[in-house]
Amino acid sequence: MSASASVSGLTPPEIKARKGGTPLVCLTAYTTPVARIADTACDVVLVGDSVGMVLHGLPSTLGVTMEMMILHGQAVRRGTEKALLVIDMPFGSYEESPEQAFRNAARLMRETGAGAVKLEGGETMAQTIAFLTRRGIPVMAHIGLTPQAVNAFGGYKVQGRGEDGARILADAHAVAQAGAFSVVLEKVPDSLARQITQELAIPTIGIGASVDCDGQILVIDDMLGMFTAFRPRFVKRYAELGDTAEAAVAAYAEEVRARSFPGPEHVFADAPRSKDNA
């Protein structure tokens, strides 16, 4: 049995072929309007399980369900034409066995039209990655800080410092050998990310890693200043849309209370106006 999704935009083999070339531009998206914006400049649009924290107010990604990922995946698919659409497999949907992972990955791709899935874990997930890729499901791996294991890590801590670097390096080689077409390196030391990038034949995508990675990814709400609950060190704010939106809402509220909105141009006359036929 195999699974496949309709091909639209960039494909996993094309992303893999970008190894060592122009850096891959990757962002998250969870809604159709934001996906359309990201699609104008990105190579990969990821429906991350960060949606649980960013849009649903959850304290971590652990409460995210398959139904949530499918709903947001369908919305993002409607707004994505050029970029490769990748969807996170939520916590508990793939760890039990390769067979469980295949059922859920196939469902994600079938019901959303995604071109690939992403799952967290290194050596422990290598068998699962191999199982999926042999059955037609492209996999983006994710190692280093894996947010779904935040309780095991004791928080969102840097992974791979000192002697622990050997573990992350082994994870990187394991997922590459298992057939992943790319790997996210999250919150690992710069020098280790650089070494992994040099040693692997697949692209590395950094988030809190190194500028020498083959690409970079951020949560779009973080880089636009829309999510303000906390700000990771690795986030650069390219805009402060949260502040802009707050000011706009305040201005709207003031005008409503002062009865200056709606104005004559925003309401409808008894007879149609010739210019707008309204």
Residues annotated as binding site? 49-50, 88, 118, 120
Give 241's DSSP letter: H
Q: What are the structure tokens assigned to 47, written together?
A: 């429906």
Active site residues: 186
The CA distance from 204 to 195, in Å, is 11
Which residues neighbour 65 within 8 Å (Cβ) at sequence distance 6 or greater? 90
41, 66, 89, 116 from 92: Cα distances, Å: 32, 9, 8, 18
Q: Is the dihedral of CA 219, 224, 230, 233 positive or negative?
A: positive
246, 255, 256, 263 from 259: Cα distances, Å: 20, 6, 5, 8
Q: Which residues are annotated as a binding site for Mg(2+)?
A: 49, 88, 120
The CA distance from 143 to 221, in Å, is 22
Q: Where are the alpha helices (DSSP H) in the chain?
A: 12-16, 32-39, 51-54, 66-78, 98-112, 126-133, 150-153, 165-178, 190-199, 220-223, 241-257
Q: Which residues are annotated as a binding site for 3-methyl-2-oxobutanoate?
A: 49-50, 88, 118
